[in-house]
Amino acid sequence: MAKKQIDKEVTVEEKLTTLYSLQQKLSEIDNIKILRGELPLEVGDLEDEIIGLETRIKKYEAELKEADTAVSHQKQKAKDSSLKIEKYKEQLDNVRNNREFDHLSKEIEFETLEIELSEKRTREFSQESKNLTEQIEKSKTFLSERSEDLAQKKAELESIVSETRQQEEQLRDEVKDIEAEVEPRLLHAFKRIRKSARNGLAVVCIERGACGGCFNKIPPQKQMDIKIGKKIIVCEYCGRIMIDPELIGAD
Ligand SMILES: [Zn+2]
């Protein structure tokens, strides 16, 4: 009973002014977020990019290790073949027949080809190793640049956040206080309209006979009703709550 009486005491005009001031506080919070802008997103993107670069460097480093191992393996093979050739040549001095001579000559020929093959592979793997080393160098330079960018953006974001944190907290407290003054059903409707409105404005003034939100013409009778301010009137096109500019001291 007592609550109903209190509700009755609140005029429509008062409800509208309350909603309008609530909207102003919320818009201020929106502006703080705009000020932070794309920074949180940019920080996130950079962090992802850095993880990607680190993964790439690890992969290159594993490949480099493989290539270097292959180089030493091929060098060892060539060395082994040379030793064999030396041994065969010594044996050649002591051959007892043509068959043995032919056999040793073929072995020497075979090992000579093996050496050529190993040298070719050594060159190939060395080239690969060189390319990978360059790629790792490049990726590391890129990584350090990106890390610097990230540190800078993070610092920027932190400074904006800390500058505006207090302001935002205060606004949020004020919003809570104002919201407590608005009847739940109306507050719910206000929030719903605000969510669907592109500019975040749920309460708009009529401007030159048109809705200040969607700029559609308002019928004269409705304009009168808004001016009288005896009930809450929404725009039939965009659903925003319309108010008389004089109510909020605007032209
Ligand atoms: Zn409208």
All domains in the chain, ordered by first residue? 2-36+183-248 (1.10.287.1490), 39-163 (1.10.287)
Residue 163 pLDDT greater than 90, yes or no: no
Q: How many A from CA of 195 to the centre of ligand 1? A: 15
Q: What is the mean pLDDT of residues 149-170?
A: 92
Is 70 exceeded by the pLDDT of residue 1?
no
Tell me, in angstroms, the distance from the centre of ligand 1 to residue 241's CA. 8
Cα 204 to averaged position of ligand 1 atoms, centre (Å): 8
CA 96–ligand 1 middle distance (angstroms): 112
Distance 34 CA to ligand 1 centre (A): 24
234 touches 195 (CB < 8 A): no
* pLDDT tens readout for residues 222-243: 999 999 989 999 999 999 999 9
Measure 193 CA to ligand 1 centroid, in angstroms: 11
Give residue-wise pLDDT tens across range 102-120.
999 999 999 999 999 999 9
Cα 45 to averaged position of ligand 1 atoms, centre (Å): 38
pTM: 0.60
Specify the pLDDT at position 121.
97
Task: Provide mean pLDDT across the span 187-195.
Answer: 95
Distance 235 CA to ligand 1 centre (A): 5
Cβ-based neighbours of 231, under 8 Å, separated by 6 or more: 12, 225
- Asked if residue 86 has pLDDT above 90, the reply is yes
Contacts of 142 (CB under 8 A, 6+ apart): 53
Has residue 8 got a pLDDT over 60?
A: no
- CA-wise closest residue to 23 among 249, 248, 251: 248
